[in-house]
Structure 1
Amino acid sequence: MRKFDKDRLLLGLAGPVLALAVAFVLTSVVLLASDRDPIEPFRLMFDAASFSDVQVLIINQTGTYYLAALAVAVGFRMNLFNIGVDGQYRLAAMVAALIGAAVELPGPLHIALIVIVAMLVGAFWAGIAGILKTTRGVSEVVSTIMLNAIATSLIAWLILPSNFGEQPPGSNDLTTGEIPESGWFPALEVTGGEIYGFTFVAFALGFVYWFVLNRTRFGFDLRATGASSTAAQASGVDAKKMVLTAMLISGAVAGLAGMPTLLGDTHTYSFNFPVGVGFTGITIALLGRNSPVGIFFAALLVSFLDKTSADLDQHGYEKEIATIMQGLIVIAVVVSYELVRQYGLRRQQRKVGEELAAGHALKTAKEAAK
């Protein structure tokens, strides 16, 4: 059984804690610079979180963000920067909504069809970037950014009434049509509203992510390739195949990010469908350090900031305060993790030096005793 490493745990917690503390302080400085109370907005946000309906909104949002962050984290573990999660998520939700509205099947089959379509579309869109990287050496950062723009235009074209979309009477919005009730995912009724049923699926996928990466040969190969593709290649791992596989899995998980909202709330895709989820997932994956538990708490934090800041403007504070804090968290995460990493290296070097010195002293003492 592996020995519990207290130092490793403390160093792992130090990064996100330091990042949050720095983000909080800098946000307070921004408020002070604009002649505002630096504490009052945070108190108002905690007060808002005490209401049961807001708590339900936070939990539902956490499920969506959790899936988006898992999609990003899969890429990160392979040393891939999949910036295209937002495009993959939106295109997958749109096509899944189209298919879901066009057919009528028994409940479980209908839901399964929608979910599988979303995963396939997300995987296909991410796979384009994977193929470009493995065959032509195109950076996944560049290709996924371009694919985001293409996805936006493709969605706008597909949803036109002359193609596959519908325009509700008396509305300027365009939709894919409503999914029949057989394709709605059952929700959990609680005080304050409904928790989307797919939110629990999202959290369960966190365990699957942990198990595959840490308890399977595939997960080991994926992590090894991310650490050093040349070393993995030398040990018999097909690095290019692993890159493509990681992009496909990342895209498939990204496709699932729209399912809590689609199957639990809107039951259709329209121009009001949430955007920017994929980019928020990058923040959450960074803050959570690609750990399923860390990602959960990071997603919960960002969801808290999103939902509790909605009413700040009613108290004389701009709700963009939460957006500022999220941006500062990203900057603080990068800086704090590097500081913690350097401290960890110095600490490890010092411990090795102390152990070598102790060993040398013991050897000298033994020789003197002879």
Structure 2
Amino acid sequence: MSRFRSKFDGYKLLLALAAPALALIAAFLLSSLVIAATGKDPLHAFAVMIDFGSKSDSQVWIINKAIPYYLSAAAVAIGFRMNLFNIGVDGQYRVAAFFAAVVGGALSLPGILQIPVIIIVAMAVGAIWAGIAGVLKTTRGVSEVITTIMLNSIAGSLIGYFLSEDRLAVKDGNLFHTPNIPAAGHFFTIPTDPKPIYGTVLIAVVIGLAYWFVLGRTRFGFDLRAVGRSESAASASGVSVKRMVVTSMLLSGAVAGLVGMPTLLNESYNYGTDFPAGVGFTGIAIALLGRNHPIGMALAALLWGFLERTGIQLEFEEYAQEVVGVMQGVIVLSVVIAYEIVRRYGLRMQQRKVGEELSARARTDANDDTAEVSA
């Protein structure tokens, strides 16, 4: 039996490596076909991307871009592990960043207090905004997909209402933005040449470690994953499904509230009409691409930033600007389909191997019984 287990463990490792390899090959081939269909050389395109992405300024840009992408993916992944589709991360991080910027611009505290206050406000607002969807789901049975989409729209309208000169914003040329956060509220940067890396990368690291530990090493994480697998089975074991739904949405919203912090604390120092939007929807793709794993999502966020950065250079090489968007979609689809194919194949092989092992043991037992009767 131990030999069977060792063979099975090796087989599982082989399948784990086969899935990303299959996805990589499929994405490369499909992307090459798309580029070739535009009348351009795909190999030259990949060479340009690798060369431009390897430059030091591009690497810093990619890392800084990947920080909010990773935080957004982590927020989405918390819901995914619970079998919840929190499509409202976009609205949650924007409304959280807005009110955090308002509070940060109104206060003048030492940095050791100013920055934590801004971060706590952002997490609290994001949690409250996502918690609305959780409460509606558990009390009224409303799908979180519908409520979070509606809350995205409400968040945009709410920000638009307060982001005016006679309310919570100031006018700067043709733009409106919240009062600037004092220098004490600026997050540190990591000196690199030619531009620094945002210090908020540490926030992403902390969130990644917390995500890994809480969901994979605690009773709460086990209960969360159990509810995601089967609500009825989790309920029968004593887990409060409704409480887990609300808690998961609160955690997802709290992490979503951090998505705007790299921009707010390391770049703009205010919330204006030009504040980045759409990061929440990108997080959905990155969570799928990273298979809801903390390391996988980190690699996916860096890949996404790499594609966006090098896509700029491709335009200078007269490649169609839509090529990068198509490549991003192809990569996500390739990963999802490849993992599903490998999962189903592995399941069939596992069932076959278990069946063969049970049949072999049954034959052995039958032979032993026959030998005893003959004796």
What range describes the TM-score normalised by the shorter chain of this pair? over 0.9
SS at match of 2:368: helix
RMSD: 1.7
Structure 1 residues 163 and 6, CA gap change in structure 2 (3 angstroms): farther
Q: Is the 8 A contact 1:185 1:264 kept in 2?
A: yes
Deviations 1:178-199 (A, max 9, x none): 1111001111101231111111
Alignment equivalent of 1:24, drawn from 28, 43, 54: 28
Indicate whether 1:116 and 2:132 are aligned.
no
Partner of 1:132: 136
Indicate whether 1:96 and 2:97 are aligned.
no
SS at match of 2:179: coil
- Range with bigger deviation, 63-72 or 336-345: 336-345
Indicate whether 1:7 and 2:11 are aligned.
yes
Letter in 2 for 1:109: L
Partner of 1:366: 368
Alignment equivalent of 2:77, drawn from 61, 73, 77: 73
Letter in 1 for 2:295: V
Note the C-alpha offset of 1:13.
4.0
Give the Cα separation in 2 of the matches to 1:71 and 1:337: 22
Q: Is the 8 A contact 1:16 1:288 kept in 2?
A: no
Structure 1 residues 12 and 123, CA gap change in structure 2 (3 angstroms): farther
SS at match of 1:174: strand
Letter in 2 for 1:290: N
Give the Cα separation in 2 of the matches to 1:106 and 1:217: 38
SS at match of 2:312: coil
Give the Cα separation in 2 of the matches to 1:49 and 1:157: 40
What percent identity do the matched residue pairs reach?
56
Note the C-alpha offset of 1:29.
1.2
Higher-Rg member (1/2): 2
Q: Is the 8 A contact 1:91 1:122 kept in 2?
A: yes
- Give the 5 Å matches for 1:108-187: 108-168=112-172, 171-187=173-189
Note the C-alpha offset of 1:368.
4.3
Alignment equivalent of 2:244, drawn from 242, 245, 259: 242
Deviations 1:147-197 (A, max 9, x none): 1111112212221112211111xx212211211110011111012311111
SS at match of 1:310: helix
Deviations 1:295-319 (A, max 9, x none): 1111111111112212221111133
Q: Any stretches of 5+ residues in structure 1 without a counterpart?
A: none
Q: Is the 8 A contact 1:127 1:244 kept in 2?
A: yes
Alignment equivalent of 1:233, drawn from 223, 232, 235: 235
- Give the 5 Å matches for 1:213-224: 213-224=215-226
Give the Cα separation in 2 of the matches to 1:145 and 1:13: 36
Letter in 2 for 1:130: G
TM-score (norm. length: structure 2): 0.93
Indicate whether 1:303 and 2:305 are aligned.
yes
Give the Cα separation in 2 of the matches to 1:23 and 1:187: 35
Q: Is the 8 A contact 1:119 1:253 kept in 2?
A: yes
Indicate whether 1:190 and 2:227 are aligned.
no
Q: Any stretches of 5+ residues in structure 2 without a counterpart?
A: none
Structure 1 residues 138 and 204, CA gap change in structure 2 (3 angstroms): same
Indicate whether 1:293 and 2:305 are aligned.
no
Q: Is the 8 A contact 1:14 1:340 kept in 2?
A: yes
Q: Is the 8 A contact 1:311 1:319 kept in 2?
A: no
Note the C-alpha offset of 1:291.
0.9
